[in-house]
Chains A and B, each alone.
Chain A
Amino acid sequence: SQQGEEDPQALSIQEGENATMNCSYKTSINNLQWYRQNSGRGLVHLILIRSNEREKHSGRLRVTLDTSKKSSSLLITASRAADTASYFCATVSGSARQLTFGSGTQLTVLP
């Protein structure tokens, strides 16, 4: 079963608007990471938040983590057409080293 589930599955916004994507997970985690995947391409690491952190910023990205609700959100501010991509959350849990991915949110930013 999926450790991470993103919602919405698809999101379409106008350039300049903010985009918020949510991720829920089932088990305790060491850290949670967000990745971007452009169509037909590999994954690009965006940001990592550790289980003892609540919020993290990187440029136009803001990630929050609520371990009591087992959820995270990714906010992209002032979106651009180039932000159009699929966004995945992934968790690392326990002694495991591998990432467990959610099913992703397809973001479309309209110019």
Chain B
Amino acid sequence: NAGVMQNPRHLVRRRGQEARLRCSPMKGHSHVYWYRQLPEEGLKFMVYLQKENIIDESGMPKERFSAEFPKEGPSILRIQQVVRGDSAAYFCASSGADNYGYTFGSGTRLTVV
């Protein structure tokens, strides 16, 4: 069981480009959560998805950010027209049917130059 896999580990984008972050949940987990962590801060919830559905996106910025979790394949967090303020570590977590079994990936560190 490989756990939650995120890729890439590090991503550098120029301002205005698009960033695509991928997350494959743990085997058997159908719930995926994305969090963002700014330097020296805690994690902030962004979005919660189940297969093919966005359940809660209350933490997502209204523009430029989107997320999906298709029937096949990993969950994708997409940031369009990146700005310097998007530089952060983005973590994905997955869980099974209950509230308790969260497993985090190692994160993607996005740097916008």
Whether the pair B56, A96 counts as a contact (CB closer than 8 A) is yes
Q: Which residues of B contact A (CB under 8 A)?
A: 31, 33, 35, 41-45, 48, 55-56, 59, 91, 93, 95, 99-100, 102-107, 109
Whether the pair B104, A33 counts as a contact (CB closer than 8 A) is no
Q: Which residues of A contact B (CB under 8 A)?
A: 2, 4, 30-31, 33, 35, 40-45, 48, 88, 90, 92, 96-104
Closest to A88 in B: B42
Known: A31-B99, A42-B107, A48-B100. A99 touches B45 (CB 8 A): yes
Known: A88-B42, A98-B45, A101-B42. A43 touches B100 (CB 8 A): no
Whether the pair A97, B99 counts as a contact (CB closer than 8 A) is yes
**Cβ–Cβ < 8 Å partners of B95 in chain A:** 97
Whether the pair B43, A30 counts as a contact (CB closer than 8 A) is no
| A44-B43 Cα distance, complex, nearest whole Å | 13
Known: A42-B91, A97-B31, A99-B33. A88 touches B43 (CB 8 A): yes
Whether the pair B99, A92 counts as a contact (CB closer than 8 A) is yes
Closest to A102 in B: B42
Task: Known A-B contacts: A45-B103, A99-B33, A104-B41. Give 10 more (CB < 8 A).
Answer: A2-B42, A4-B42, A31-B99, A40-B109, A96-B56, A97-B95, A98-B48, A98-B59, A101-B35, A101-B44
| A101-B59 Cα distance, complex, nearest whole Å | 13
**Cβ–Cβ < 8 Å partners of A92 in chain B:** 99
Whether the pair B33, A42 counts as a contact (CB closer than 8 A) is no
| A88-B93 Cα distance, complex, nearest whole Å | 15
Q: What's the minimum C-beta distance from A79 to chain B, rounded to whole angstroms?
A: 22
Whether the pair B56, A98 counts as a contact (CB closer than 8 A) is yes
Q: What's the minimum C-beta distance from B94 to chain A, rounded to whole angstroms?
A: 11
**Cβ–Cβ < 8 Å partners of A44 in chain B:** 104
**Cβ–Cβ < 8 Å partners of B33 in chain A:** 97-99
| A43-B103 Cα distance, complex, nearest whole Å | 8
Known: A102-B42, A104-B42. A97 touches B103 (CB 8 A): no
Whether the pair B43, A43 counts as a contact (CB closer than 8 A) is yes
Whether the pair B48, A97 counts as a contact (CB closer than 8 A) is yes
